[in-house]
């Protein structure tokens, strides 16, 4: 089996593989960055913080467009078919979190942030090639809190 700790997302403390571009809090100093394409964070919690902020921006975008913010919509925007096997990505995430692609995700509420945590944990499994028990749930929930989300426990986030 492939060693998930050697994956790009794990090495970069960027478990959802956010591309470089925005000036996120917690980025490794520019002179110490070794990845020209993807963000490198000082801790995994900062990687999850950025991912949560992106998820919230997707929710705002879909709402402004009069669309539903579903699991499938989020993943299709995150991992577009032009670059990924998006249908497989959606199917894997839905299997891991036991949901339907059309289930709605709404950050900012306690239940919504719990769903976001599950979604991000499952996306970590896809992006980094790990199993649910390998996800750093403490960093995930800390990242959500750092981003202004509701306080949930690592146990509440566990798949």
13-65, pLDDT tens digit by residue? 999 999 998 899 999 999 999 999 999 999 999 999 999 999 999 999 999 99
Rounded CA-CA distance 100/72 in Å is 8
- pLDDT band for position 109 (cuts 50, 70, 90): low
Write down the pLDDT at residue 127: 96
Give the range of the structural domain holding residue 127, as residue numbers without chain letter. Answer: 4-157
* Number of domain units in the chain: 1
Dihedral sign, Cα of residue 61, residue 77, residue 54, residue 157: positive
Q: How many residues does the chain have?
A: 159
120-148, pLDDT tens digit by residue? 999 999 999 999 999 999 999 999 999 99
Is pLDDT larger for residue 50 or for residue 3?
Answer: 50
51-77, pLDDT tens digit by residue? 999 999 999 999 999 999 999 999 999
Write down the pLDDT at residue 140: 98
Q: Is the pLDDT of residue 110 over 70?
A: no
Q: Is the pLDDT of residue 79 over 60?
A: yes
Q: Which of 40-54, 86-100, 107-121 has the lowest mean pLDDT?
A: 107-121
Pick the closest to residue 124 from 112, 140, 111, 109 (CA basis): 140
Rounded CA-CA distance 4/51 in Å is 19
pTM comes to 0.94
């Amino acid at each position: 089996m492939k060693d998930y700790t050697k994956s790009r997302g794990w090495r970069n403390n960027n478990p959802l593989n956010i591309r470089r571009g925005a000036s996120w809090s917690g980025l490794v100093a520019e002179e110490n960055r070794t990845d020209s394409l993807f963000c490198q964070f000082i801790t995994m919690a900062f990687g999850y913080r950025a991912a949560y902020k992106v998820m919230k921006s997707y929710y705002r975008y879909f709402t402004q467009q009069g669309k539903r913010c579903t699991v499938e919509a989020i993943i299709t925007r995150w991992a577009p078919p032009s670059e990924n096997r998006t249908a497989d990505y959606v199917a894997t995430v839905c299997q891991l979190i036991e949901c339907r692609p059309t289930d709605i995700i709404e950050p900012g509420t306690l239940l919504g942030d719990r769903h976001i945590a599950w979604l991000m944990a499952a996306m970590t499994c896809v992006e980094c090639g790990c199993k649910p028990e390998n996800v750093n749930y403490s960093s995930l929930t800390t990242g959500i809190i750092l981003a202004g989300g509701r306080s949930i426990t690592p146990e509440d986030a566990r798949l």
